[in-house]
Structure 1
Amino acid sequence: MSFGETPPSTDVFADDLLTGETALITGGGTGIGKALALAYADHGADVAIASRSMEHLEPVAEEIESKGVDACATTVDVREPDAVDAMVETVLEELGDLSILVNNAGANFLSPAETLSANGWRSVVGTILDGTANCTFAAGEHMIEREDGGAIISMGATNSVRGAPYHAHSGAGKAGVHNLMQTIAAEWAEYGIRANTVAPGVIRTEGVMEVMGEAVAERVIEDDLAADRLGTPADCVSVALFLSSPAAAYVTGSYYAVDGGQLLAPTPM
């Protein structure tokens, strides 16, 4: 069996799937976040993107607007609650609403646990877990007040449900993200707010390939995946769009691994 290329979302979902929605995507200037931002725009949503630097945000915002929807680009350090509050206020001022939040901002680096510094731990866990919590609470306050529900999607990782050698900081942070989404799903169900986790495995992005290289990528495909290729941002886009749409109206607190079978036990042969 061959795991073929995932088709563009525009070939799978209706063009007006998210018309009338306003999405905020953190880490929206590169990689999976950029792919998500453009796909949400393709399907009718107004889109806000945020990251620590405007360098990558402005060209993506221009591309979003070229699709006939409104865009907002704003800087934020998701580790800082006041900065996150200001980001949400900017989105509301410029786009008028916020009905979908995608927590995509992340950080990571390789380090054996025994040499991982306190600052290194705080930097990664602060971005992944504290950042997700800060954005969820700030956006959630508006979603509760609007009395029309909302969708919160957090990008986790498969290293959150098993040991994460050389990634103790990010594995622990992503595990916390999944637990947070389950808790929010339970507590905020009464407001019509759904919260789910999308957990990518090894996704072929520029940043990942800079660290991994093609030789390691081939070993991962051969030894660790049921699929015969690495994932792509498009693989994550389709799941996030589904979870943002009315098709997932009864889905909350769930965990979607987008990993080509990486979490499966290897075949004993």
Structure 2
Amino acid sequence: MSFPETPPTTDLFAEDLLAGEVALVTGGGTGIGKELALAYADHGADVAIASRSMDHLEPVAEELEARGANACATTVDVREPDEVDAMIETVLAELGDLSILVNNAGANFLCPAEDLSASGWRSVVGTILDGTANCTFAAGEHLIDRGGGAIVSMGATNSVRGAPYHAHSGAGKAGVHNLMQTVAAEWAPHGIRANTVAPGVIRTEGVTDVMGEAVAEQVIEDDLAADRLGTPADCVSVALFLSSPAASYVTGSYYAVDGGQLLAPTPV
């Protein structure tokens, strides 16, 4: 029996699920981040998107507004605390509030650990871990002042096992998971929830370019309980749930969206 495709969130959640909320999605111009931003707009939130390139952001901002959301697009290098502070100020100035932070900005490349340079390590870990920390701490000041909110960070399943050829990414994502657990515990008295969504192999343009179809099919055959790669929709539905009142008693959790990749292979 095959695993069906995850339906669009518009088929699963109420149209006004996030009415009155303001969401910020880093890395919101492409891939999973773009789909996250559009889904938040579809369910009533105003949406800010940020990345290093405005070229990616402007078309998405136009689509967000076409879907009825007030939109804000701003450039940021999440590795730089001053730029992150400026991003938060821009969102507050243009949209008036911030109640949901989605830490989605990422970086990665394949490299054996013995060949990984210091600059390569800093580039990936700086974006994934330092960037998530910078955004979380900057947004957290506002969320504490306003009396609550939700933080959803995009992790990865390579954070809880060895990550061959992804030492930098795996280590960074492991730090993200720990950070979310820590702020979930510390900030619970302020009404702030923090959770991690951990995708496995998701079929995006970047992943397909790196893997190629032959490798993708091998992953499906050898590594997945499901019989397909994941799609952005698989991640979007979980993130939307965690941002919503439906998850008001969920914090510090880790949601693997991996088609069973973390499971031990079934013996034959």
State if a TM-score over 0.5 links the two structures: yes
Where 1:25 maps in the other structure, the secondary structure is strand
| Structure 1 residues 27-47: Cα deviation after superposition (integer angstroms, max 9, x where no partner) | 000000000000000000000
Gaps of 5+ in 1: none
Q: Where do residues 130-141 of structure 1 align in structure 2 (5 Å cutoff)? A: 130-141=130-141
Structure 2 Cα separation of the partners of residues 56 and 81 of structure 1: 22
Structure 2 Cα separation of the partners of residues 101 and 94 of structure 1: 16
Deviation at 1:230, TM superposition (A): 0.2
Q: Which residue of 1 aligns with 2:54?
A: 54
Q: Where do residues 185-204 of structure 1 align in structure 2 (5 Å cutoff)? A: 185-204=184-203
TM-score using structure 2 length: 1.00
Deviation at 1:146, TM superposition (A): 1.0
Q: Which residue of 1 aligns with 2:30?
A: 30
Structure 1 Cα separation of the partners of residues 259 and 94 of structure 2: 38
Q: Which residue of 1 aligns with 2:79?
A: 79
Where 2:143 maps in the other structure, the secondary structure is helix
Deviation at 1:268, TM superposition (A): 1.4
Q: Which residue of 1 aligns with 2:105?
A: 105
Structure 2 Cα separation of the partners of residues 69 and 198 of structure 1: 24
Structure 1 Cα separation of the partners of residues 185 and 117 of structure 2: 35
Deviation at 1:168, TM superposition (A): 0.2
Counting matched residue pairs gives 268
Where 2:54 maps in the other structure, the secondary structure is coil
| Structure 1 residues 100-142: Cα deviation after superposition (integer angstroms, max 9, x where no partner) | 0000000000110011000000000000000000000000000
Q: Which amino acid aligns with 1:249?
A: S
| Structure 1 residues 222-267: Cα deviation after superposition (integer angstroms, max 9, x where no partner) | 0000000000000001000100000000000000000000000001
TM-score using structure 1 length: 0.99
Structure 2 residue 144 is the aligned partner of structure 1 residue 144: yes
Q: Which residue of 2 aligns with 1:160?
A: 159
Q: Which residue of 2 aligns with 1:184?
A: 183
Q: Which amino acid aligns with 2:46?
A: D
Where 2:169 maps in the other structure, the secondary structure is helix
Q: Which residue of 2 aligns with 1:235?
A: 234
Where 2:233 maps in the other structure, the secondary structure is helix
Q: Which amino acid aligns with 2:171?
A: A
Q: Which amino acid aligns with 2:253?
A: S
Structure 2 Cα separation of the partners of residues 139 and 21 of structure 1: 14
CA RMSD of aligned residues (A): 0.4
Structure 1 Cα separation of the partners of residues 7 and 77 of structure 2: 33
Deviation at 1:216, TM superposition (A): 0.4
Gaps of 5+ in 2: none
Structure 2 Cα separation of the partners of residues 69 and 8 of structure 1: 18
Q: Which residue of 1 aligns with 2:41?
A: 41
Where 1:79 maps in the other structure, the secondary structure is coil
**Superposition misfits of 4+ residues, deviation over 4 angstroms:** none
| Structure 1 residues 190-249: Cα deviation after superposition (integer angstroms, max 9, x where no partner) | 000000000000000011101011000000000000000000000001000100000000
Structure 2 Cα separation of the partners of residues 245 and 152 of structure 1: 11
Deviation at 1:69, TM superposition (A): 1.2
Structure 2 Cα separation of the partners of residues 201 and 238 of structure 1: 15
Q: Which amino acid aligns with 2:226?
A: A
Where 1:188 maps in the other structure, the secondary structure is helix
Q: Which amino acid aligns with 2:92?
A: L
Q: Which residue of 2 aligns with 1:14?
A: 14
Deviation at 1:65, TM superposition (A): 0.3
